[in-house]
Structure 1
Amino acid sequence: MAAYSAVISLLQTLEQRNTKLIIQNQTAKALESIHATAQYFHDVLEEASYNRRPTFDPEKTKSLEEVIRVAATDAEDVVELKFGQFIKVSRWTFGMLPHWDLLPLVEKMDTTKKQVMEILEVSVDLGIDTSFTSYVLVSDQLGDDVVHGLDDGLEIIVNRLTGPSTDLEIVTITGMGGIGKTTLAKKAYDHFPIRYRFDILAWVTVSQEFRGRNVYLQALHCISKQKDSVNEKDYDKMDESELADLLQKNLKHRRYLVVVDDIWRTDVWDRIRRIFPNDNNGSRILLTTRETEVAMYADTSSPHEMNLLTLENGWKLLCHKVFGPKHDHPHELEDTGKEIVKKCQGLPLTISVIAGHLCKMSRTLEGWKDVARTLSEVIATHSDKCLEVVGLSYHHLPNCLKPCFLSMAGFLEDFQIDTRRLIQLWIAEGFIKSSEGGKSLEEVAADYLEDLISRNLIQARKRRFNGEIKTCGIHDLLRDFCLIEAEMTKHMHVERTYPTLQTQKHNVRRFSFQALSYSVDDCCKLLPPVTKSIYLFSLLNLPYRPRIKLEILPIYRRNPVIHDFFSRFNLLRVLAILNTNVMFRSFPLVITKLFHLRYLQIQFDGDIPESISELQKLQFLICSGYPENVTLPEKIWMMKNLKCISLASRATYLPSPRRESILNKHLVTWMPNLEGFFGLSYASCTNEVFSGIPNLKRLIIRVPFSLGNRIPYRPMDMSSLGKLEAFKFYGLHSLENPIKSFVFPTSLRRLSLTWLKNFIWEDISSTVIMLPHLEELKLKRCRAWYGEWRFSDKDKVRSLKLLLLRSVNLRHLEASSDNFPNLKHLVLKECNILEEIPIDFGEICTLESIELHDCSATAEDSAREIEQEQEDMGNSSLKVYIHQRRNQPSNRGLVRTPFDGKLYY
């Protein structure tokens, strides 16, 4: 919702102002008045979101939201411009922001507030519903129960419904809208053994708007068809509580199955659950829901999560819908048909909608190829059948999650988004509201992401071994909905084709360019000066250059056109150039004039200029480019709002902070908010530097290759980094025995060491044993003095859950289960000389998996032996995965299990 995100952003801007610069009492009062009105708008939107009012027709809703969006957006533009101008002047002179500059804005906000109040009062007087959530309810069912690929799921559900337990059990089915939850439930409901087992079967559909009377009537109507004693004529005379009592009496002392379809909230489940008696006779309740949270709440054991269809099953479904049960299709259509199914990404609803469209067409190859090319447009023309289904999940979201979800429209189709980058963008955009519970904005944003994933709106594409999300994405159907909703609500404009000349600039603040290329002139015509976010996946071509193909790397030279382009956007907060083929020859100095910039992602050649310190609001600096070594200016220490510095694979030299006089002001000597530094040069690892970044949580240190053998040995004491959780070190084989030089903080949870040379394995043991909270240890391409790693009986790595060894010269590992009492995953990659895995590792009760990638045959033998021994002892929880890319067949004749790729290291 653009109105909500605009209000939240305005509130944050007002709350983050520098109060030391507001010395006029009247100015402070003006800002407080604007803040109070913005808070009122926030409360109105929140109240509507949580259904505290009666509902309101959709046109009134759109009108009200648009009034609030325009007022909040314009107010923030004025406030930021005034503060930007004021701060620029006050650097050179003693000045103050006069309150009369804000009076027109105060009056405009008051006028808008009166408009909103009048709309709400009229709505109440007319008895109109004002919840903003009066949406058409669309079923998740696919029209019939023919969905290939549900057999395994059906067997699981039937087994749980017919299990031996006599307690009343709740079985849940969860998954995204359109995946076939209702269809699977119906197949189970109609299954002959189910109908034979239960005395009473009833089906109720809850949907978003819970109406208890309707739900109870649905169940009673089902019962009345199975029992002659029920008189349906009496229902009209009963109120809701009487119907609930009657339903409970009819279920009492009978073995029943009740399907509760399409339930959305836990509080609704609490109300329904009380109706069902537990007579210890094997009764069951089957729930379907899009909300994983609801599924887990109702069924704490193991909700059945539905997966998307495979290409094979998707093709069978399409054939059945288009050609009938015999699947008698022209052979020449198969390749194109499978291409269509692949683009549907395994969602049965999309496949069914496309099948309905294909049924109305002539069955020609050219016609099907046209559908494959224009799949998104075809889906959009069937929005009543397709987009409305997924739209229900969006409209059910609380306001705080809506802008985060709509932000997914800003990324390319099938784009895998690093979750850390996504969270940073949400924060920079102003979508994240500070928590009253003391959580940081990053923690709140991570909760938002988990919430959207649990609602099956965002997909976790890759997870770390501990469940943390590494990358995420979105289904194409949901992305199509995002694109439409983002445009309609003026949340963001996405350009996916080369733009035509615009007679009027778009009235939005966020833009994403996703076509092949654009000229600067066209971008300037498209973007208004108040633009706040630019996402660039395309090439930005200069007028004097010909159009360039994507695979050719354009290096933008210093050019006044670039200066003119960036200098137009004084309010820009986010500049994310995500196309890796776009690189500037040097850092564009004009960017340092964008005072309000919070997030900068860019590629350039050379160093970062001193004028970067002008970006006092910058929180996230993500840069990449050609030079191996980069030097940060000393003035970087003045940027106290920086949260993350990431310079990709570069080794970044950070000078030690010094206090000195600059224009009669003292240089800030530490960065209190910096939590991530990715690519710090080994040469910068001094006590002075570490003391200036005391709140660091994630750190990557690199040794520049250009240093060769000239690296001095010196201790690296990181004990002052008391909040450090994740540390990666990329060394060189020329760096002698660095293990002894490291002094790690005890807070460390993840440790990764790459390219170390001339150490002894026991140094690794003694180091990790001293880290009580260490959960991950990764050693990659390391060369020790000897190939034997021995643990004594007293050596215990108590918290370690993941041990990964990749391309190390380890021949013999001597360890027992006592040394790794909590290990969950052992991963070995390219360990060609490792003789075996200690057989005693099978005794580690927490061990869940052993993975081998291109390891020696004897190591594979030992892994299989451990697995077989555990199976013989009745332990089937330990899984062994062997992934082998060697072309030559193994002389051991082992049956290898391909790695399933679910965990990423």
Structure 2
Amino acid sequence: MADHDAESCSSQFIYDVFLSFRGSTRCGFTDNLYTALTNKGITTFRDDENLRVGDRIRDTLLEAIKRSRMSIAVVCQNYASSAWCLDELVQIMECSNKGTKRPVFPIFYHVDPSDVRHQKNQYDQDMKKHESRYGKDSHKVQAWRLALQEVSNLSGKHCKVHSYESEMIKSIVEEVSAKLPPEPLYIKHPIGFDSHFEAVESLWNIKSHNTICMLVIYGDGNKTTFVGELFNKFRHQFQAAIFLDKVSEKSRSVDGLENLQVALLYEMGVHKKPKLGSTLKGSSDIKQSLRNKRVLLVLDDVDDTEQLDSLAGGGDWFCPGSRIVITTRDANFLNNQVLDGFKIEKYCINEGEFDRMEALGSNQKQDKVVEEDMVGFENIFNDVTKQLKENDSRVDVISIIGMGGLGKTTLAKKIYNNEVKKLFSCCVWVTVSKDYKAKELLQSLLKGCGLWESIKGKDISEDDQKSKVQKFLEKKKYLIVLDDVWEPEVWDEVKCVFPKNNNGSAILITSRNDGVANYTGSRSYYPPLLEKDESWKLFCKKVFKGGECPSVLESIGRLMTEKCRGLPLAIITLAGVVGKKKRLTVEWMRIMRSVIWYLAKDNSKVTEVLKLSYDSLPQRLKTCFLYFGIYPEDYAIPVKRLVQLWIAEGFIQPPEIGISDGLEVEDIGEEYLNELVDRSLVMVAKRRSDGGIKSCRIHDLLLDLCISENRAEKDIVFCTEKDIRSLGNFKSCRLSLRGNDLDSFNQCDHSRIHSLMCFWKYYDIKNALINVTSFDSARILDFGDPAFGLSSQAAQNLGTFIHLRYLRLHQDPYLENHCDFICFLANLETLIVEENYDFSFELPHGIWRLKKLRHLEGWLRMTSKTAPPDMSKEECLPNLQTLQFVFFEEKLTMSSVVNGRFPKLRKLGLARDFGSECTEHEQLQGLHHLKNLEKLKLVDFGELPQAHEFPSNITKITITTSAFSYDCGIRYSYLNTLGDLTSLHVLKVTSPAAHRGDSLRFAAGSFPNLEVLHLTSMQVREWILEEGAMPSLQHLIIGDYDLDELPEQLWSLTNLQDVLVFAPNPALRNSLQRVKPKNGCKLILKRRDMVKMVMEL
């Protein structure tokens, strides 16, 4: 990707100089400096102090820095007291540290540079104030400290108290004028030749100051655009840079060569376009001006040696380290010429040459990358190479899938360049990339096969080109690598060219999108994030080049690498940052405090790679992905809650009537999340027993990307107790609240808050009261996890928030008696009353009027007073999806409550009320009326209905009983009744108070479609599994059992994949040592201390 800050591209500089200063210096020194710069003809940006109000002006200032060729920082005594100035300085230093290396000229005005560097005296006081506001370890404060240190190490001017300011300003203007970098060329449509720039850079060895290199670029490609971007990219590394275009055309006009010489001298600042009199005089002047500076000289479109002699002469014209680039249409130009003092390199820019380079890759370069960057993934490497070696029949398609920066391409290169490559008669590497074009992809294959030259320039159809590739590969054993495939459609474009010659050929695909692997039907490998030790190994390889880390730095270094969360690209980038610093504890500590800031800077390769994944998302997924920015770092996000929030925000629209086929918005939301997981933007933290995603996480660097993208729109605001009072400065927003300062929160204006998510830092606020008074436009209120209360005023006001879609709060005595406000929330879709063991929540009678309610969760009591009235189906809760957990008190039963009132209910949780006047069986009667019920949770029920009394579509049943009462233990005979449920896929039973000594018997033919079985904390002595029971079982988890052995029939189940046993007693452990599972089944034991032992027997 082209460097968008190389200024060659979409935008030119507007200003020569950006002037950063504190208001206290405005009337005096800064005014005089500004005037002197302007009089010198230097366009200078200076902001108007009266305009420093609001973020829009701040953005204007930061943009002005980006559009300035250099910056001057007037660093005075109270410079650090201003957050504005510090933000400016961070941006200035970022622009200075980027590839363009824009100069920064510091002026230390009446302040000692050492005070700035070490933040002493007034600087110490000011920075401590910032720390108290933003937090000592905040990225913002760390960035400010680093910027101050960096600017204090630069060469500038120290203006002392009694110095002559007029003389000082005159000297400053002269130095600034000399240091102003050359303006970049304006290129309307930049192409982005980054990979080719690397090749050029290796040819002319730009870092060497001992040689003078001339690079001749020839061919029929777009040479002018190429050298223009080359000039913009590298010009900052020279003391002077000159670009002369159309040399051939201009030299043929009257006095053409002399005019070109005048232009060159003018760019060097030697003449104001005088008449030279002759080209000989011009050559002499040019030689004199060039010999004392490292120069980049570009001569575009040269076709005659006379032009070269007049403008570039010989090596004695130039200072060592200079580079001369000429473009020509003549491939033989300079072939027979001897130019003293020049090292001459030639480079072809034919389009085909570049494409072939991309198609085949540079093996020499690949090998280097592999050796340095390959850590981890040994198992995948060995598996794939083994597969390639042993396959001698079908065509294998193998996919390596993972997030950007994980090392997929590096792993593929190691496989491609391994000795296994010798087994194939044709090997082709094709880089597909995000913005691929079918025609270019086909051309890359043709070039990789060596077929391009024979058809180049001929009128051959695309189908005929595909046919040529297919015929070429037909009798060969081939290895094709398709690197960086973004979409499944790529496979449709190329699969027809790969013949099924059954000789062990292979196609290796790398992608960020798991959908690609699924679409191609390939065997997939998913490289994991690196472990801590692997991360440290990779870091040390890059920083110490095979050496060892000093012991005094190791603990700091390991902490730094841990913050990369195992992402190889992040570790390599961090190593690049650290490698440029001195190996001192203080230097490493500074970086360690702000690792994510270093990695996520605008010019970071990490940000660039990760943002590509974000940019490729359709808009519907972009919105959902950015919502992850509302969560704290390393937060395990419950998927159920996340989808409910997306729905409440309006991100997910219901399917069109007539095509939904039972599809609900929750299903669409889960599909969106699966897409983000497939695209390697979201990580699975925990899966449900049915294979669905239960909770997820997002890598810290992707979280930072979410935050930065949201910050641009000021959509999500992050607030702590330190700055919560600043809410009034924000527009309507989604507020992610961190901290525990409820007093400040209660006093602030809530009217701008669209959504509130609380992530309280501490749990010492349980006696505090939330007092929300003005959430007029709020759609989401989530008051977090600690058990605090609602004030009476808050409860009254909540009933007026008519836009509210999602409400999550906590049970407390006040809520128990003042919950009628819920009945007035006509748009409410999700109500969660979080568990508090001291109280259950009695549903308000009017809740049945909430026609839009989809999810109702908590420990919910239902009495004859609060039960739904005997009303028609039209007056029930037509959209309710989830209802849990419900206690039926008095004479209420499931049958009396359901009665057709919840036609869409999918998930139900019932808790036994020991004070009920009905039996357990009576309480559960009526379940069969819930035609769409899929998941059922039962708490403290020891008896179960007959199979025909369960809904026919039920797929998952979870039974949990308390350890405190023998009466609530499950009776094992009732489990047998569940064996006739043909749709049941998951059964989970936890019953520590079960009837000790009972036998557990699963009859022949029972549980025909059960795939997952969890049996934990049960006092069963014997488990009998008759032949033909559970034929579809794949996963078995058992734990805290009195069993001495597992049934022998279990190991004959052909679909069984794994058996996980928690805390086996000695007898069971001994019996398992003798077991020999079949069909690749894994037996896994976990002790009580959760230390995992895996026995693949």
TM tier, shorter chain?
0.7 to 0.9
Partner Cα distance (2:449, 2:739) in 1 = 57
- Kept in 2, the 8 Å contact 1:657–1:669? The answer is no
CA-CA distance at 1:625 after TM superposition:
5.3
Q: Which amino acid aligns with 1:486?
A: N
Q: Which amino acid aligns with 2:987?
A: L
Call closer, same or farther: CA 1:580–1:191 in 2, change over 3 Å: same
CA-CA distance at 1:177 after TM superposition:
0.5
Partner Cα distance (2:918, 2:840) in 1 = 15
Corresponding position of 1:147: 374
Call closer, same or farther: CA 1:136–1:267 in 2, change over 3 Å: farther
Partner Cα distance (1:886, 1:507) in 2 = 50
Call closer, same or farther: CA 1:771–1:791 in 2, change over 3 Å: same
Corresponding position of 2:1056: 847
Corresponding position of 1:593: 800
- Kept in 2, the 8 Å contact 1:657–1:688? The answer is no
CA-CA distance at 1:427 after TM superposition:
0.6
TM-superposition CA deviations, 1:660-704 (whole Å, max 9, x none): 9xxxxx998521211111221132544232223343211122246
CA-CA distance at 1:807 after TM superposition:
1.6
- Kept in 2, the 8 Å contact 1:817–1:841? The answer is no
- Kept in 2, the 8 Å contact 1:853–1:884? The answer is yes
Call closer, same or farther: CA 1:659–1:850 in 2, change over 3 Å: closer
- Kept in 2, the 8 Å contact 1:749–1:776? The answer is yes
Corresponding position of 2:525: 304
CA RMSD in angstroms comes to 3.4
Is 1:535 aligned to 2:760, yes or no?
A: no
TM-superposition CA deviations, 1:128-152 (whole Å, max 9, x none): 99xxx99999999998222211322
- Aligned to 2:556, the other structure's residue is in SS state helix
- Kept in 1, the 8 Å contact 2:906–2:933? The answer is yes
Partner Cα distance (1:500, 1:189) in 2 = 55
- Kept in 2, the 8 Å contact 1:501–1:522? The answer is no
Q: Which amino acid aligns with 1:746?
A: S
Corresponding position of 2:514: 292
- Kept in 2, the 8 Å contact 1:624–1:650? The answer is no
Q: How does 1:137-536 map to 2 (within 5 A)?
A: 144-145=369-370, 146-194=373-421, 196-224=422-450, 232=453, 235=456, 241=462, 244=466, 246-298=468-520, 300-326=521-547, 328-381=548-601, 383-436=603-656, 437-438=659-660, 439-495=663-719, 498-499=722-723, 502=726, 505-515=729-739, 517=741, 520=744, 524=748, 529-536=751-758
TM-superposition CA deviations, 1:579-634 (whole Å, max 9, x none): 43654366722111100100011224121521211101000001225442221110
CA-CA distance at 1:738 after TM superposition:
6.2
Corresponding position of 1:84: none
Is 1:571 aligned to 2:792, yes or no?
A: no
Call closer, same or farther: CA 1:183–1:602 in 2, change over 3 Å: same
TM-superposition CA deviations, 1:280-329 (whole Å, max 9, x none): 4332221111111112222x142122111111111100000101123x11
Q: How does 1:824-835 map to 2 (within 5 A)?
A: 824-831=1034-1041, 833-835=1042-1044
- Kept in 1, the 8 Å contact 2:799–2:824? The answer is yes
- Aligned to 2:428, the other structure's residue is in SS state strand
Q: How does 1:799-878 map to 2 (within 5 A)?
A: 799-831=1009-1041, 833-866=1042-1075, 868=1076, 870=1077, 875-878=1078-1081
- Kept in 2, the 8 Å contact 1:813–1:838? The answer is yes
Partner Cα distance (2:191, 2:877) in 1 = 48
Corresponding position of 1:125: none
Q: Which amino acid aligns with 1:687?
A: S
Partner Cα distance (1:624, 1:827) in 2 = 29
Among 812, 816, 833, which residue is 1:605 paired with?
Answer: 812
Among 881, 884, 892, which residue is 2:1087 paired with?
Answer: 884
Q: Which amino acid aligns with 1:590?
A: N
Name the TM-score, length of structure 2 as normaliser.
0.61
- Kept in 1, the 8 Å contact 2:942–2:971? The answer is no
Partner Cα distance (1:345, 1:674) in 2 = 40
Which segment is superposed worse, 172-181 or 651-660? 651-660
TM-superposition CA deviations, 1:79-135 (whole Å, max 9, x none): xxxxxxxxxxxxxxxxxxxxxxxxxxxxxxxxxxxxxxxxxxxxxxxxx99xxx999
Corresponding position of 2:343: none
Call closer, same or farther: CA 1:349–1:582 in 2, change over 3 Å: farther
- Aligned to 1:449, the other structure's residue is in SS state helix
CA-CA distance at 1:219 after TM superposition:
3.8
Larger Rg: 1 or 2? 2
CA-CA distance at 1:273 after TM superposition:
2.1
Is 1:643 aligned to 2:849, yes or no?
A: no
- Kept in 1, the 8 Å contact 2:724–2:745? The answer is no
TM-superposition CA deviations, 1:372-399 (whole Å, max 9, x none): 2212211122644011101111111111
Q: Which amino acid aligns with 1:556?
A: A
Q: Which amino acid aligns with 2:806?
A: Y
Among 733, 741, 765, which residue is 1:553 paired with?
Answer: 765
- Kept in 1, the 8 Å contact 2:634–2:697? The answer is yes
- Kept in 1, the 8 Å contact 2:921–2:943? The answer is no
Call closer, same or farther: CA 1:518–1:392 in 2, change over 3 Å: farther
- Aligned to 1:336, the other structure's residue is in SS state helix
Call closer, same or farther: CA 1:237–1:307 in 2, change over 3 Å: same
Which segment is superposed worse, 689-698 or 230-239? 230-239
Q: How does 1:777-792 map to 2 (within 5 A)?
A: 777-785=987-995, 787-791=997-1001
Q: Which of 1 and 2 has higher RCO (CA within 8 Å, sep 6+)?
A: 1
Q: Which amino acid aligns with 2:843?
A: L
Call closer, same or farther: CA 1:899–1:644 in 2, change over 3 Å: farther
Q: Which amino acid aligns with 2:509?
A: L
Call closer, same or farther: CA 1:815–1:714 in 2, change over 3 Å: closer
Partner Cα distance (2:851, 2:191) in 1 = 46
- Kept in 2, the 8 Å contact 1:513–1:536? The answer is yes
CA-CA distance at 1:263 after TM superposition:
1.1
Unaligned runs of 5+ in 2: 1-62, 64-187, 196-357
Corresponding position of 1:687: 895
TM-superposition CA deviations, 1:709-733 (whole Å, max 9, x none): 98866612122222222121222xx
Q: Which amino acid aligns with 2:616?
A: H
CA-CA distance at 1:409 after TM superposition:
0.5
CA-CA distance at 1:166 after TM superposition:
3.1
Corresponding position of 1:898: 1093
Unaligned runs of 5+ in 1: 1-58, 60-127, 225-229, 540-549, 661-665, 888-895, 901-905
CA-CA distance at 1:742 after TM superposition:
11
Partner Cα distance (1:653, 1:370) in 2 = 62
Q: Which amino acid aligns with 1:788?
A: D
Partner Cα distance (1:638, 1:667) in 2 = 12
Q: Which amino acid aligns with 2:1085?
A: I
Partner Cα distance (2:556, 2:841) in 1 = 49
Partner Cα distance (1:419, 1:601) in 2 = 15
Partner Cα distance (1:792, 1:509) in 2 = 56
- Kept in 2, the 8 Å contact 1:824–1:848? The answer is yes
Q: Which amino acid aligns with 1:201?
A: C
Partner Cα distance (1:491, 1:359) in 2 = 37
- Kept in 2, the 8 Å contact 1:725–1:750? The answer is yes
Partner Cα distance (2:192, 2:825) in 1 = 44
- Aligned to 2:929, the other structure's residue is in SS state coil
Call closer, same or farther: CA 1:687–1:246 in 2, change over 3 Å: closer
CA-CA distance at 1:504 after TM superposition:
6.9
Partner Cα distance (2:636, 2:1047) in 1 = 38
CA-CA distance at 1:354 after TM superposition:
0.7
Call closer, same or farther: CA 1:613–1:263 in 2, change over 3 Å: same
Which segment is superposed worse, 807-816 or 450-459? 807-816
Is 1:630 aligned to 2:841, yes or no?
A: yes
CA-CA distance at 1:243 after TM superposition:
5.3
